[in-house]
A and B are shown apart, each in its own frame.
Chain A
Amino acid sequence: MSLEIQNLHVRVEEREILRGLDLTVRKGETHALMGPNGSGKSTLANTIMGNPNYELTEGRIVLDGEEITEADPDERARAGVFMAFQYPATIPGVSVANFLRMAVNARREEPIKVKDFGAMLKENMDLLRIDREFTSRYLNEGFSGGEKKRAEILQLAMLRPEIAVLDETDSGLDIDALRIVSDGVNALRGPDMGTLIITHYTRILEYVKPDFVHIMLDGRIVREGGSELAGELEEKGYDFIREEVAAANAG
């Protein structure tokens, strides 16, 4: 299984944010997509999930050979694509446990048995070192930044998607929370999941080693490489890359 993004052009409020982006994430691979603020990282994540506020003007999104460019977000999710939000919505009156049950059942023919769900929940909460009482709270209501991110990763763990997009999951986390979240992602990584980590900083990549690194500027991927590229970026910074790209274009 793979997620292929081909020549993606996306507008938000009349402004073209993505300007011909290509990217392929296969099952079993971990990709890091890095870029400064405003480069279009979150736009890419939202477009992959089909957020109606993002207008796709050109290009295709193909999941496992099937085009999902026009599919509704829930269809994409049921087909195996997941996104951990940078700023997840609050769902008042719906407990974490109930929300998870709905989400798990959305991908199944028959509703999951209460006992099986309980066991699965416990296992994943242990993995992410989440307290039992967490699941009876309303989803994201009054959650700290770290709790929100953990709730996102808990959903990832419960849903076991084929393709996971983590949109700035590392932002706003202290080092302990970052470690817990990274441990979770590492535990979930494997031959059955392709992961796209979207981030501004290289920090999370010290914990979750990517197979591929892509650097994005102004709506396009401008450099690609292995995990060593993250180190280079850390050393030189985005401005250096920008100048390098400008020079190459001029030449």
Chain B
Amino acid sequence: MPADPAERTWPSPLLPASSPTWLEERRKAGLEAYEREPVPTWRRSGFWTTSLRDLDLDALEPRRYEPVGSVAELPAKVRDALDEEPGALIVQRGASTVHLHVDPELVEQGVVVMPLEQAAVEHEDLVREWYMRRLSEDEGKFPAASAAFWTGGVFIHVPAGVRVEKPIQSVYAIDEPGIAQYAHTLAVVGENADCAIREYCLGGDFDGQALHAGAFELYARPGARAKVAHFQDWGRGSVHDISTKRVEIARDAFVSWVPIHLGGRLTKQTLDIVTAEQGSDMRHTGMYFTERDEHLDLFTSDRHEAGHTTGDTVWKGALTGASRASYEGLIEIVQHAQESHTYLQTHQMLLSQKAKGDAIPSLIVKTDNVSASHGGTVGELDEEQIFYMMTRGISRAEAVRTLVEGYFEEVVQRLDDPGLEQLVRRRIGEKLLAAEDQVAEFIGQRAEAAQEA
């Protein structure tokens, strides 16, 4: 296996022996784009840069793993994160699908959860109809890489009219250094179907680098209702996550999308949500909590392609250590999309002197008769709130912890999923505990500075 995927012989030995021709063509287009495109450096406004110069791409490669018979055999981090009784669970470790379980009840309802590789053969028409409908290999080096090199993958189909109570869970895990993981999830939620989908990106606390180049696409068909959560916690390993996630919402459908970013050495993601037809409605609520030397660069868009569509976006972040986090959120209302109503707000909280961040909302409106507004804050913990809590006997440390937890609570509650909510709260608590001394020091310094000013 050559180190650089671009140099490997086509088709790759890791790819399935039999793939439909149209998919092979698409992979080839991906490979061409991959070879053509340089490794990008993302710059914005002259001062924000996301660079991959520290990533030794040539040293990374896809790695195969043997399937496991039960959840008990999965890495601890994966076991801990998962719900005990999912409707379906599919786990990809490195380049391989290592575990698949679908509740018989779901099978009976016609729900399909399987590796995308397998679905491309077994449900060829369906996959062909939706595969990369809103994604393109021409969006840059890494979208091209995942289009060309993805293995395993996840396919989810909830047929029209089917209501699935238990969550459908997919996992991408990297628990060793040296891995390049190319991921692709395709989910189609049929007309008037109703389901909850959670995707986890989980990494171990290893020494060394790894890459996750991911693609996620979800299509909510007319009248569908979907709760979608992304839970990213790459751990202390040096995982670089460069992904594109896109959600399309058809007529009268509703998607609540909650991406949670709790860790990763470098994250560069584009998250787009498109209300594509009349009456479509979305709620997009995200959070990030960066620490140590992590670097996070998020771009989200709320795109209205038809009239009478609604959106509501809230993103909240907190930064400790010497971490960097940039959030840019765009509202875009195309021509003729009249009577669209949407709102975007973004908040960022600095909890350390060395952390740097920014949060920028922006707006492109090409029609009239719409309401679109945005607001943003970049701030620090409010000394007045801390004082208030202390006058109730609460210690400074507990006040700070409570305020940060409270700040994120709006996002956490929108998960509307007790198990996952608890996991997120626990992780926020752990991060705050790890950063307690520096946060206290920071707040103390600020209080002194305020006094002197």
| A residues adjacent to B (C-beta < 8 A) | 49-53, 55, 72-74, 76-78, 82-83, 85, 88-94, 99, 102-103, 106-107, 138, 155, 159
Contacts and interface: CB of A to CB of B under 8 A. Distances in A.
Contacts of A73: 387, 390-391
11 contacts: A49-B387, A52-B383, A52-B447, A72-B396, A88-B388, A91-B388, A92-B410, A93-B407, A102-B394, A103-B393, A106-B392
**Interface of chain A, helix or strand or loop or mixed?**
mixed
Contacts of B407: 92-93
* Most A-side CB within 10 Å, residue of B389, B395, B403, B408: B389
Best-buried of B385, B396, B409, B447 by chain A (most CB within 10 Å): B385
Contacts of B403: 91, 94
Query: Chain B contact residues: over half helix, strand or loop, or mixed?
Result: helix
Residue among B383, B384, B405, B408 facing the most chain A CB atoms (10 A cut-off):
B384
A94 B394 contact: no
A99 B402 CA distance: 9
Contact of B385 (A78, A91, A107): A91
A55 B451 contact: yes
Contact of A85 (B382, B388, B390, B450): B388
B391 A52 contact: no
B368 interface: no
Q: Which of B388, B395, B409 has the most CB of A within 10 A?
A: B388
A93 B410 contact: yes
B387 A102 contact: no
B398 interface: yes
Interface of B: 382-385, 387-396, 398, 402-403, 405-410, 447, 450-451
Contacts of B391: 49, 73-74, 76-77, 82-83, 85
A103 B382 CA distance: 19
A88 B385 CA distance: 9
A92 B393 contact: no
Contacts of A89: 382, 384-385, 387-389
A250 to B, nearest CB: 38
Contacts of A51: 387
Given A73-B387, A91-B388, A106 B393 contact: yes
B375 to A, nearest CB: 15
Contacts of B405: 93-94
B224 to A, nearest CB: 30
Given A52-B451, A74-B395, A93 B390 contact: no
Nearest to A82: B391
A73 B390 CA distance: 5
Contacts of B395: 74, 106
A73 B391 CA distance: 5
B406 A138 contact: yes
Given A52-B447, A93-B406, A103 B392 contact: yes
